[in-house]
Amino acid sequence: MSAVIDDHGHAGHDHHHGPAKGLSRWLLTTNHKDIGSMYLWFSFCAFLLGGSMAMVIRAELFQPGLQIVQPEFFNQMTTMHGLIMVFGAVMPAFVGLANWMIPLMIGAPDMALPRMNNFSFWLLPAAFGLLVSTLFMEGGGPNFGWTFYAPLSTTYAPESVTFFIFAIHLMGISSIMGAINVIATILNLRAPGMTLMKMPLFVWTWLITAFLLIAVMPVLAGVAVVGLLVGGALFFLKSGTPSPAPSPAAKPLAVPVATVPAAPAIASSVQLALLESEVKRDPSGFKGDRYQFSVSSKGVLTGFQETGRTTPWIRNLGFMRLYGVTMQSDGRRAVRRAGDMNSPDYRAKVTKRVRDGAVVFDVVVAHPKFTLNQTFVCLPRSLKVEARFKPVSLADQSGPLDAVYGVHLETAEFVSPNARPLMRTGEVVYATKQGSLILRYDPSFTGAGSQAVVGDPALTSFVLAVAGGTKEQVLNYEIILP
């Protein structure tokens, strides 16, 4: 009796069953366990990177004051830490567990769409490589918080926000592809007898999560695209909303308009058309090539900063405060605040127009105790200001008052915030990371009555006028950019 051996034509051929060897195994794998392992390793690496950024944050906050990094970089670390921990550590870890466990729990041989599974993973390293690369771009990485709130992420964002938005898109595409794969696997590859009501709770949670991802990620991508295309996102800015119409019964402010300082030569018709469109676009804000700011409903210039950056050079410009002196029972004098811009009788009217080829803001403030006219002339590399202050009745039941007109400078943009600003006749020079920010004023203003010019290096506030008496006082000054 003889045995018949049939080798089916395989004689002389080597059998190489099992996964591919080397790097190609991980680049081209469609095995759900391999892909799940890569998700988990990627999540671990992102956790280490995000954790290192958290260490920078905690080291900077170890004690008050500036420690090891500049505030702008601190904001970038805070933003990148949140993005990496949420989108790079937490979410890929759960996706890795889903790739590993769902086929095993429902008796499936693999995920329903294995090649899509591979592609959805390799989108993540590309997205996070693009995201981390923004730290090395001009202007720095995103510094507005991982929640992407406007207008910090639009009007005041660095140029790298475009790459950040594209990275978010890649992460969203990866999440949507993974969610489709999970849904297809659970609904089509369950073992015989594995009904939906017999599935483990982990599989149920991922089925619901996958539907939520498909519903949410396109919305997130759409919001990011709107932020990219609209740019200014004036909807989120107080200065971008129209002011309410004045009441018919309201009396006009009978205050003379200040004389506008000299402006540059007449611009071309094209430039004038652009300036007119700028006036119509934002009646209470300005965004030029070099700097931008907004004017509040109280007539205060806020957020004076370099275009595209988030940290202002000057926080408030043109604020008014009233101070008085009270005698205490022990004979000591105490300074008290007798009024400021938040008082209900502080009324301001802001008018934006084009004059002599420059955008001009006329701010008229009326108060029972004083009147204030300001004119802001927006030049290419500087901002000229003329302020006219006239006391009406600087007194109350406790005695005479002083009215303070001043400017607050931010410390975050300064190279050495503890260094005393350079005080020279007619100007104060502050060192910033971009160069010297010069606040130049009319030196003949000082020394008249109770007026003074004081630079406070600790608070970096600059009091341009301490005005008292009854005479109208005029102050011309200019802020020259670095």
Residues 466, 391 contacting (CB under 8 angstroms): no
Band of the pLDDT at 388, cuts 50, 70, 90? confident
Band of the pLDDT at 259, cuts 50, 70, 90? very low
User: Tell me: the pLDDT tens digits for 196-234?
Assistant: 999 999 999 999 999 999 998 888 877 777 766 654 444
Residues 203, 186 contacting (CB under 8 angstroms): yes
Angle at 256 between CA 300 and CA 314, to 5 degrees: 20
Domains of the chain by start residue, with CATH: 23-236 (1.20.210.10), 243-480 (2.70.98)
Neighbouring C-beta atoms of residue 119, cutoff 10 Å: 14
Of residues 256 and 86, more confidence is placed in 86
The reported pLDDT for the residue numbered 324 is 62
* Range with the poorest average pLDDT among 11-15, 167-171, 280-284: 11-15
| DSSP-assigned beta bridge partners for residue 466 | 404
HEC assignment per residue over 126-163: HHHHHHHHHHHCCCCCCCCCCCCCCCCCCCCCCCCHHH
The reported pLDDT for the residue numbered 158 is 81
Rounded Cα distance, 399 and 395, in Å: 6
The answer to whether residue 38 scores a pLDDT higher than 80 is yes
Here the tokens at position 266 are 């007449």
Q: What is the C-alpha end-to-end distance of the chain, expressed in Å?
A: 102
Residues 80, 54 contacting (CB under 8 angstroms): no
Neighbouring C-beta atoms of residue 390, cutoff 10 Å: 17
* Range with the poorest average pLDDT among 31-40, 96-105, 302-311, 396-405: 396-405
Angle between helix axes 201-230 and 161-188 (nearest 10 degrees) is 150
Contacts of 232 (CB under 8 A, 6+ apart): 151, 154, 155, 240, 282, 287
Band of the pLDDT at 242, cuts 50, 70, 90? very low
Across the range 245-268, mean pLDDT stands at 43
| DSSP-assigned beta bridge partners for residue 208 | none
Rounded Cα distance, 133 and 131, in Å: 5
Length of the chain in terms of residues written: 482
User: Tell me: the pLDDT tens digits for 150-165?
Assistant: 777 776 778 888 888 8
The reported pLDDT for the residue numbered 161 is 83
The answer to whether residue 137 scores a pLDDT higher than 60 is yes
The answer to whether residue 51 scores a pLDDT higher than 90 is yes
Here the tokens at position 276 are 């007119």
Rounded Cα distance, 313 and 409, in Å: 6
Q: What are the b/e assignments for 402-422, b being 16+ CB within 10 Å?
A: bbbbbbbbbbbbbeebeeebe
The answer to whether residue 241 scores a pLDDT higher than 50 is no
3-state helix, strand, coil in the chain (%, to 5): 35, 25, 40
Residue 151: is the preceding peptide bond cis (ω within 30°)? Answer: yes
Here the tokens at position 95 are 């996706």
Here the tokens at position 215 are 């519903």
Across the range 230-252, mean pLDDT stands at 46
User: Tell me: the pLDDT tens digits for 266-320?
Assistant: 444 545 556 666 666 677 788 777 888 888 777 787 778 787 777 777 777 776 6
The reported pLDDT for the residue numbered 240 is 45
* Range with the poorest average pLDDT among 20-24, 108-112, 274-278, 341-345: 274-278
Helix ranges (H only) for 303-385 are: none
The answer to whether residue 448 scores a pLDDT higher than 70 is no
Of residues 112 and 262, more confidence is placed in 112
DSSP string, 30-59: --HHHHHHHHHHHHHHHHHHHHHHHHHHHH
Angle at 146 between CA 143 and CA 149, to 5 degrees: 80
Residues 387, 363 contacting (CB under 8 angstroms): no
Angle between helix axes 91-106 and 32-60 (nearest 10 degrees) is 160
Q: Which amino acid is at 250?
A: A
Q: Hey, CA dihedral for 45, 47, 50, 51, is it positive or negative?
A: negative
Q: Hey, CA dihedral for 71, 74, 78, 84, is it positive or negative?
A: positive
φ/ψ region of 109 (left if φ > 0, alpha if ψ in -120 to 50, else beta) reads alpha
Three-class secondary structure of residue 275 per DSSP: helix
